[in-house]
Chains A and B, each alone.
Chain A
Amino acid sequence: KQEVTQIPAALSVPEGENLVLNCSFTDSAIYNLQWFRQDPGKGLTSLLLIQSSQREQTSGRLNASLDKSSGRSTLYIAASQPGDSATYLCAVLMDSSYKLIFGSGTRLLVRP
Protein backbone atom coordinates (compact mmCIF):
# COMPACT_ATOMS: atom_id res chain seq x y z
CA LYS A 1 0.00 0.00 0.00
CA GLN A 2 1.36 3.39 -1.01
CA GLU A 3 2.18 5.76 1.83
CA VAL A 4 3.15 9.39 1.32
CA THR A 5 5.00 11.28 4.06
CA GLN A 6 5.80 14.97 4.28
CA ILE A 7 8.48 16.37 6.55
CA PRO A 8 8.45 18.72 8.35
CA ALA A 9 4.81 19.02 9.40
CA ALA A 10 5.32 22.73 10.06
CA LEU A 11 7.98 25.28 9.20
CA SER A 12 8.52 28.92 10.14
CA VAL A 13 11.12 30.99 8.32
CA PRO A 14 11.99 34.69 7.95
CA GLU A 15 11.17 36.40 4.69
CA GLY A 16 13.80 36.02 1.99
CA GLU A 17 15.01 32.57 2.95
CA ASN A 18 15.30 29.75 0.45
CA LEU A 19 13.59 26.62 1.73
CA VAL A 20 12.98 22.97 0.88
CA LEU A 21 9.91 20.89 1.57
CA ASN A 22 10.21 17.12 1.48
CA CYS A 23 7.89 14.40 0.26
CA SER A 24 8.59 10.66 0.34
CA PHE A 25 6.61 7.70 -0.95
CA THR A 26 6.97 3.97 -0.40
CA ASP A 27 5.96 2.53 -3.80
CA SER A 28 7.95 3.79 -6.77
CA ALA A 29 5.35 2.62 -9.34
CA ILE A 30 3.89 6.08 -9.73
CA TYR A 31 2.51 7.74 -12.85
CA ASN A 32 3.22 11.28 -11.68
CA LEU A 33 3.63 13.47 -8.60
CA GLN A 34 1.81 16.72 -8.01
CA TRP A 35 2.47 19.55 -5.55
CA PHE A 36 -0.46 21.63 -4.28
CA ARG A 37 -0.91 24.71 -2.17
CA GLN A 38 -3.87 25.17 0.19
CA ASP A 39 -4.77 28.41 1.90
CA PRO A 40 -6.95 28.23 5.06
CA GLY A 41 -10.56 27.39 4.21
CA LYS A 42 -9.83 27.14 0.49
CA GLY A 43 -9.48 24.45 -2.13
CA LEU A 44 -6.19 23.11 -3.45
CA THR A 45 -4.22 24.98 -6.10
CA SER A 46 -1.96 22.92 -8.33
CA LEU A 47 1.63 24.22 -8.31
CA LEU A 48 3.68 21.70 -10.25
CA LEU A 49 3.22 18.29 -11.82
CA ILE A 50 6.16 15.97 -12.52
CA GLN A 51 5.71 12.96 -14.77
CA SER A 52 7.46 9.77 -13.64
CA SER A 53 9.92 10.11 -16.54
CA GLN A 54 10.92 13.64 -15.54
CA ARG A 55 13.48 14.80 -12.98
CA GLU A 56 12.22 18.30 -12.23
CA GLN A 57 9.77 21.04 -13.06
CA THR A 58 10.05 24.78 -12.51
CA SER A 59 7.51 27.58 -12.20
CA GLY A 60 8.73 31.00 -11.17
CA ARG A 61 10.35 30.74 -7.73
CA LEU A 62 9.28 27.13 -7.35
CA ASN A 63 11.29 24.09 -8.38
CA ALA A 64 10.18 20.51 -7.78
CA SER A 65 12.43 17.50 -8.22
CA LEU A 66 11.61 13.81 -8.39
CA ASP A 67 13.81 10.81 -7.64
CA LYS A 68 11.51 7.90 -8.29
CA SER A 69 14.02 5.20 -7.45
CA SER A 70 14.55 6.55 -3.94
CA GLY A 71 10.90 7.52 -3.48
CA ARG A 72 11.54 11.21 -2.87
CA SER A 73 10.46 14.60 -4.13
CA THR A 74 11.44 18.06 -2.96
CA LEU A 75 9.79 21.44 -3.46
CA TYR A 76 12.28 24.30 -3.43
CA ILE A 77 10.97 27.80 -2.80
CA ALA A 78 13.41 30.60 -3.55
CA ALA A 79 13.38 33.97 -1.80
CA SER A 80 10.31 33.19 0.31
CA GLN A 81 7.64 35.85 0.85
CA PRO A 82 4.86 36.23 3.45
CA GLY A 83 2.38 35.45 0.64
CA ASP A 84 3.91 31.97 0.40
CA SER A 85 2.44 31.12 3.80
CA ALA A 86 0.09 28.18 3.28
CA THR A 87 -0.07 24.41 3.58
CA TYR A 88 1.80 22.52 0.85
CA LEU A 89 0.68 19.01 -0.09
CA CYS A 90 2.25 16.46 -2.35
CA ALA A 91 0.33 13.63 -3.98
CA VAL A 92 1.27 10.67 -6.16
CA LEU A 93 -0.85 9.17 -8.91
CA MET A 94 -0.48 5.43 -9.00
CA ASP A 95 0.20 3.55 -12.22
CA SER A 96 -2.59 1.12 -11.46
CA SER A 97 -5.46 3.49 -10.71
CA TYR A 98 -6.91 6.93 -11.18
CA LYS A 99 -6.43 7.74 -7.51
CA LEU A 100 -4.14 10.34 -5.98
CA ILE A 101 -2.51 9.42 -2.68
CA PHE A 102 -1.88 12.50 -0.53
CA GLY A 103 0.64 13.35 2.13
CA SER A 104 -0.58 15.16 5.24
CA GLY A 105 1.08 18.43 4.24
CA THR A 106 3.66 20.93 5.48
CA ARG A 107 2.30 24.11 7.04
CA LEU A 108 4.58 26.99 6.08
CA LEU A 109 4.74 30.38 7.78
CA VAL A 110 6.97 33.07 6.26
CA ARG A 111 7.52 35.87 8.79
CA PRO A 112 7.89 39.48 7.54
Chain B
Amino acid sequence: DGGITQSPKYLFRKEGQNVTLSCEQNLNHDAMYWYRQDPGQGLRLIYYSQIVNDFQKGDIAEGYSVSREKKESFPLTVTSAQKNPTAFYLCASRGDIAGANSYNEQFFGPGTRLTVL
Protein backbone atom coordinates (compact mmCIF):
# COMPACT_ATOMS: atom_id res chain seq x y z
CA ASP B 1 0.00 0.00 0.00
CA GLY B 2 1.24 3.46 -0.84
CA GLY B 3 1.18 6.04 1.88
CA ILE B 4 2.89 7.97 4.62
CA THR B 5 3.95 6.42 7.91
CA GLN B 6 4.90 8.26 11.09
CA SER B 7 6.47 6.81 14.19
CA PRO B 8 6.09 6.63 17.03
CA LYS B 9 2.37 7.28 17.51
CA TYR B 10 2.99 8.61 21.01
CA LEU B 11 6.22 10.13 22.32
CA PHE B 12 7.18 11.46 25.72
CA ARG B 13 10.03 13.87 26.22
CA LYS B 14 11.79 14.96 29.36
CA GLU B 15 12.90 18.53 29.86
CA GLY B 16 16.15 19.29 28.02
CA GLN B 17 15.95 16.22 25.81
CA ASN B 18 16.06 16.12 22.02
CA VAL B 19 13.66 13.73 20.30
CA THR B 20 13.28 12.71 16.66
CA LEU B 21 10.00 12.00 14.88
CA SER B 22 10.10 9.72 11.87
CA CYS B 23 8.25 10.26 8.58
CA GLU B 24 8.51 7.89 5.61
CA GLN B 25 6.60 7.92 2.31
CA ASN B 26 6.50 5.43 -0.57
CA LEU B 27 4.49 7.66 -2.92
CA ASN B 28 7.57 8.81 -4.84
CA HIS B 29 6.70 12.39 -3.91
CA ASP B 30 9.26 15.16 -4.17
CA ALA B 31 7.89 17.53 -1.53
CA MET B 32 7.51 16.74 2.17
CA TYR B 33 6.20 18.85 5.03
CA TRP B 34 6.01 18.99 8.82
CA TYR B 35 3.09 20.66 10.59
CA ARG B 36 2.24 21.25 14.20
CA GLN B 37 -1.36 21.19 15.47
CA ASP B 38 -2.41 22.54 18.86
CA PRO B 39 -5.90 22.09 20.36
CA GLY B 40 -8.37 24.51 18.86
CA GLN B 41 -5.85 25.83 16.37
CA GLY B 42 -5.16 25.23 12.73
CA LEU B 43 -2.09 23.58 11.24
CA ARG B 44 1.15 25.54 11.35
CA LEU B 45 4.03 24.77 9.00
CA ILE B 46 7.36 23.95 10.67
CA TYR B 47 9.64 22.93 7.78
CA TYR B 48 9.26 21.77 4.21
CA SER B 49 11.47 20.18 1.59
CA GLN B 50 10.91 20.32 -2.15
CA ILE B 51 13.80 18.04 -3.07
CA VAL B 52 16.45 15.82 -1.51
CA ASN B 53 19.20 17.67 0.40
CA ASP B 54 17.19 20.89 0.44
CA PHE B 55 14.68 22.26 2.96
CA GLN B 56 13.20 25.59 4.04
CA LYS B 57 11.86 27.00 7.27
CA GLY B 58 8.15 27.36 7.66
CA ASP B 59 6.29 29.71 9.96
CA ILE B 60 7.40 28.22 13.30
CA ALA B 61 10.84 26.63 12.71
CA GLU B 62 12.52 27.81 15.92
CA GLY B 63 13.49 24.88 18.16
CA TYR B 64 13.14 22.31 15.37
CA SER B 65 15.54 20.79 12.84
CA VAL B 66 15.13 18.48 9.84
CA SER B 67 17.14 16.56 7.28
CA ARG B 68 16.31 15.23 3.82
CA GLU B 69 18.99 12.72 2.85
CA LYS B 70 16.59 10.40 1.04
CA LYS B 71 13.51 11.12 -1.04
CA GLU B 72 11.42 8.78 1.12
CA SER B 73 12.39 10.16 4.53
CA PHE B 74 12.01 13.51 6.29
CA PRO B 75 12.73 13.21 10.05
CA LEU B 76 11.97 16.05 12.44
CA THR B 77 14.03 16.68 15.57
CA VAL B 78 12.44 18.61 18.40
CA THR B 79 15.31 20.18 20.30
CA SER B 80 15.54 21.39 23.88
CA ALA B 81 15.31 24.92 22.49
CA GLN B 82 11.63 24.36 21.70
CA LYS B 83 10.03 25.61 24.92
CA ASN B 84 6.51 24.33 24.37
CA PRO B 85 6.75 21.16 22.26
CA THR B 86 3.62 19.38 23.50
CA ALA B 87 1.46 19.07 20.36
CA PHE B 88 0.26 16.80 17.59
CA TYR B 89 2.79 16.60 14.72
CA LEU B 90 1.72 15.80 11.18
CA CYS B 91 3.89 14.90 8.21
CA ALA B 92 2.67 15.33 4.63
CA SER B 93 3.89 14.88 1.07
CA ARG B 94 3.00 15.99 -2.44
CA GLY B 95 4.33 15.28 -5.92
CA ASP B 96 5.35 17.67 -8.64
CA ILE B 97 3.12 20.75 -8.60
CA ALA B 98 3.37 21.00 -12.39
CA GLY B 99 2.53 17.38 -12.96
CA ALA B 100 -0.69 15.45 -13.42
CA ASN B 101 -3.76 16.38 -11.39
CA SER B 102 -3.21 13.66 -8.80
CA TYR B 103 0.26 14.93 -8.03
CA ASN B 104 -1.14 18.24 -6.79
CA GLU B 105 -2.92 16.50 -3.96
CA GLN B 106 -1.30 16.62 -0.53
CA PHE B 107 -1.41 13.52 1.65
CA PHE B 108 -0.93 13.26 5.38
CA GLY B 109 0.43 10.68 7.76
CA PRO B 110 -1.39 9.52 10.91
CA GLY B 111 0.50 11.88 13.23
CA THR B 112 2.69 11.70 16.33
CA ARG B 113 1.50 13.06 19.66
CA LEU B 114 4.40 14.49 21.65
CA THR B 115 4.06 15.18 25.36
CA VAL B 116 6.63 16.84 27.60
CA LEU B 117 6.87 15.28 31.05
Contact = CB atoms under 8 A, between A and B. Distances in A.
Given A49-B104, A51-B101, A99-B48, A44 B90 contact: yes
B90 A34 contact: no
B42 A103 contact: yes
Interface residues of B, number: 25
B60 interface: no
Query: What secondary structure prevails in chain B residues at the interface with A?
Result: strand
Interface in B96-117: 97, 101, 104-111, 113
B45 interface: yes
Contacts of A93: 97, 104, 106
Nearest to B105: A49
Nearest to B104: A32
B36 to A, nearest CB: 12
A44 B43 CA distance: 11
Contacts of A100: 33, 45, 106
B51 to A, nearest CB: 10
A51 B104 CA distance: 9
Interface residues of A, number: 22
Given A31-B97, A34-B106, A98-B50, A43 B42 contact: no
Given A31-B104, A46-B107, A49-B101, 13 more contacts: A31-B97, A44-B92, A46-B106, A89-B43, A91-B106, A93-B106, A98-B48, A98-B97, A99-B45, A100-B33, A100-B45, A102-B43, A105-B42
Interface of A: 31-32, 34, 36, 41-46, 49, 51, 89, 91, 93, 98-100, 102-105
